[in-house]
Structure 1
Amino acid sequence: MAAAEPKPPTGAAAARRLARSCWSAFWDYETPKVIVVKNRRLGIVYRAVQLLILLYFVWYVFIVQKSYQDSETGPESSVITKVKGITLSEHKVWDVEEYVKPPEGGSVFSIITRIEVTPFQTLGTCAESMRVSNATCDSDEDCVAGQLDMLGNGLRTGRCVPYYHGSSKTCEVSAWCPVEDGASVSQFLGTMAPNFTILIKNSIHYPKFQFSKGNIENRKGGYLKHCTFHEVSDLYCPIFKLGYIVEQAGENFTELAHTGGVIGVIINWDCDLDLSASECNPKYSFRRLDPKHIPASSGYNFRFAKYYKINGSITRTLIKAYGIRIDVIVHGQGSTAGTMDMGPAHTPQQNQQPKGPHAARPGGDMNGMTTPAPS
């Protein structure tokens, strides 16, 4: 009689065997085997890699990037501007009230340098501009009465009339007449414009660190009435000549004054607030913002009108103004280790009194920003 085959272990027995195996393995001790290779070249490569990693963290991460510091970008900022100067055109003297638009003194403003004037416009009928599409005609049949061209000057009457000069004809429109290019006169205001002075008063605040500062020192003796900006000797005299701004932006003033353009005045406040407040200074840069190499989008101009009455009839003077638009742009980053557990450090306060040539003085708000601008 054959011997009986052993029965396979049941599920409970298999589970107990697995548990005993895991329990036994739990108390095992493992250690990696270390091999020391006596090879100078390999050792040099190994230590060089370690040194590079160490230098990366010490030099780039800690010294260059200052990653141990807490930082805040985009400071709260206010900008007040004031332009001074007079200039001449062929027919009159122009003062600030006429050539600066808008007059409020904000961070974006325009200085008019050339105008095209269409005087004595009244509501009536006249020839449409030849610049308008499909405005030229040979007879009345070419003009549709009641047609309105959104890029034109008015509502067409259905008549074909002689143009302002030459032998051409255009469709008649009901509009402010004469239209702009029919009787405009060009005047250049830019002869003395390079000597215009622009005061740019800027104050910034990093709320995270309660740090504030301005770009004007609290000096006495009418300092702002006699100084102009110099990067070394008069950093805290933010009075710039318009010609200097255009030159620093790499532009030709005469050309820019004729075509118009947009110049950015960039004020950068990158401040290491672990240092004295006198080390936190504004850095100015200038560049043209509109793409001058693309004719379709380069240049800058706008229109406005002056209204009055002549013999009871409403009359206006239409002015197409070309100018230099100034955009004051403020950005920066404040950083400090004062809010992190990295050893002794301080958090700059708004009222601290640093030492140095650009230090704040007692009694001045926002490190000297209470100095009144020259009137």
Structure 2
Amino acid sequence: MTGCRTRSLTWFGQLWEYETPKVIVVKNRHLGTIYRLLQLLIIVYFAWYVFVVQKGYQAQETGPESAVITKVKGVSTSKASRGAKRIWDVAEYVKPPEGGSIFTIITRTESTKLQTVGTCPESKSVIDARCVSAEDCRYGDMHVLGHGLQTGRCVNATRGSLRTCEILAWCPLEDETVTSESLHEFVPSFTILIKNNIHFPQFGFSKGNIEGENALKSCTYHPIHSPSCPIFTIDFIVKEAGVNFTEIAYKGGIIGVIINWNCNLDLHPSKCRPQYTFRRLDLRNNISTGYNYRFAKYYNKNGTEARTLIKVYGIRIDVIVHGQAGKFSLIPTIINLATALTSIGVGTVFCDWILLTFMNKDHMYSLRKYDKVWKLEEMNTATITTVSSLQDSPATSESLCTNHDPPYKDSPSPLSESITDQKGQQEQSCDGTELPPGS
């Protein structure tokens, strides 16, 4: 019980301890070199990288509010069935036509014409629809990869002895009578106008990528000669994305136009300009490559609803906008300055670790660095004499030789013996009486 009480009192007493740094000058060439190098590295890091590169003195805002409007210009042709030429304009080859940030320019089509609702054999490519007899076909079944509803009959597939289940669908099927048209001959010369307006709400700053009244009359984007022009050719976009045009026109693909706004609002607003980069976004592999989709055009044929199913391959353009803006602010400046000044102390911690771990000879550095000092509980304050009172007193020599208890007591150290000897010599010189050793 007594031990627990003692430990509790000891722990309670530690609550009132106070630690203060002690300055010790260590004259060591190697340790001093390490210390100065660490300080230099920390200063260079904060001065160059944090404040110059990262602009640590600014308040930052990322992800601006953005609006994108696109317009495509150009006309192309394709060879239709029986060698006839067909004209393609913007209303036909741009999907969707609204002019948003994502759109497709059609480069090739596969059309299945004169489709009507009726019965026909399922496609041979649907493995689950292959059959030997009617027992293999269940009425009302529908395969996920199929084209229609099974009728329960097993019939001969078109062009071959293979038999498949009969289905109710849009017939004839796409795989049987498809015709292909390519219009990529003039596609490289198509132009795309990209209008982009951004807004940083934190700073109340808005900017667009079109500057000047005559900016759109006769310009085409070039990263060096015309970096502010927002009109791009398909040929330039495809080349900058590192894509072969013939390949992407045949199988389709997705290309991203990345617009990056990096604005330093401490400068004039005219210095805030977008940077354009281009990259292919779809993955090219053996499983699924390219980009395509289907749509249908419906019409009436002799009172019967019919349609033309069109599978299109094209270049899909995704306009992606990124951005960040910065402006001087006192709060981040103070925070980074305080962090820099605090980080300089890392050199002291590191050198102390080296000093006490690898260079601590006979614990000499430890004894010099760590001291424990506490105030005596019972102390006669009247015995403390100031320097000024010593100078004014007529019995100066007698007061100087009077031995009083110090106001603070130090923990024992290797120097205690030498201090005791010096104290004994002082007492001997004052009263003229030689004291015995140890008294």
1:283 matched to 2:283: no
2:67 is aligned with 1:87: no
Give 3-state SS (helix, strand or coil) of 2:250's partner: helix
Matches within 5 A, 1:255-270: 255-270=247-262
Aligned pair partner of 1:323 in 314, 322, 334: 314
- The structure 1 residue matched to 2:238, chosen from 246, 264, 268, is 246
SS at match of 2:51: helix
Distance 1:334 1:62 in 2: 15
Hey, what's the Cα distance between the residues in 1 that align with 2:226 and 2:149?
58
Q: Answer with 1 or 2: which has the greater Rg.
A: 2
2:101 is aligned to 107
Match of 1:314 among 288, 305, 311: 305
The 1-side partners of 2:165 and 2:291 are apart by: 30
Q: Report the secondary structure of 1:156's partner residue.
A: strand
2:287 & 2:246 partners in 1: Cα distance?
20
From 71, 74, 90, the counterpart of 2:63: 74
Alignment partner, residue 235 of structure 1: 227
Would the alpha carbon gap of residues 339 and 87 (structure 1) be closer, same or farther in structure 2, given more than 3 Å must change?
Answer: farther
The Cα shift of 1:260 comes to: 1.1
How far the C-alpha of 1:94 sits from its partner, in A, is 0.8
AA partner of residue 229 (structure 1): Y
TM-score of the two chains, using structure 1 as the length reference: 0.79
2: CA distance between counterparts of 1:147 and 1:215? 55
- Matches of 1:30 and 1:307, distance apart in 2: 87
The runs of 5 or more residues in structure 2 that have no matched partner are: 81-85, 335-439
Instruction: Give the number of aligned pairs.
Output: 320
Alpha-carbon spacing, 1:252–1:32, altered in 2? closer, same or farther (3 Å): closer
Deviations 1:230-275 (A, max 9, x none): 1122222111111111111111111111111111110000111111
- The answer to whether the aligner puts 1:299 opposite 2:290 as a matched pair is yes
Matched, 1:53 2:47: no
Amino acid across the alignment from 2:57 = Y
Other structure's SS at 2:45 match: helix
> CA–CA distance in 2 between the matches of 1:33 and 1:74?
49
Q: Which structure is higher in RCO with an 8 Å CA cutoff and minimum separation 6? A: 1
Query: Which deviates more from structure 2 when the two are superposed, residues 232-241 or residues 101-110?
Result: 232-241
For 1:184 and 1:108, the matched residues in 2 are separated by 28
Say which of 328, 335, 348 aligns to 2:326.
335
Q: Does 1:273 align with 2:262?
A: no
Distance in 2 between residues matched to 1:276 and 1:51, nearest whole Å: 34
Point out where structure 1 has 5 or more consecutive residues left out of the alignment. 1-7, 344-375
Q: 1:341 to 1:253 in 2, by over 3 A?
A: closer
Q: For the residues of structure 2 that align with 1:280 and 1:130, how far apart are their CA atoms?
A: 59
Decide whether aligned partners of structure 1 residues 63 and 170 sit closer, same or farther in structure 2, where only a CA change above 3 A counts. same
State the alpha-carbon separation in 2 of the partners of residues 66 and 150 from structure 1.
56
Verify: 1:225 aligned to 2:217, yes or no: yes
Secondary structure in 2 aligned to 1:246?
A: helix
Partner of 1:354: none
Pair 33,185 (structure 1): closer, same or farther in 2 beyond 3 Å: closer
Change (3 A) 1:167 1:261: same
Q: CA deviation at 1:63?
A: 1.2
- Cα pair distance change 1:71/1:141, threshold 3 Å: same
Q: Which amino acid aligns with 1:166?
A: G
Q: Specify the SS of the correspondent of 1:325.
A: strand
Q: What's the RMSD between the two structures over aligned residues?
A: 2.5
In the alignment, does 2:195 pair up with 1:204? no
**Which residue is 2:53 aligned to?**
64
Q: Check whether the contact 1:146–1:158 (CA below 8 A) recurs between aligned residues.
A: yes
**C-alpha deviation, 1:150, in angstroms:** 2.6
CA distance in 2, matches of 1:304, 1:254: 24
**SS of residue paired to 1:72:** strand
**CA displacement, residues 17-52 of structure 1 (integer Å, 9 cap, x when unaligned):** x9xxx8xxx9x9997654433333322222111111
CA distance in 1, matches of 2:18, 2:158: 104
**2:186 aligned to which of 192, 208, 215:** 192
The residue type equivalent to 1:136 in the other structure is R
Tell me which residue corresponds to 1:359. Answer: none
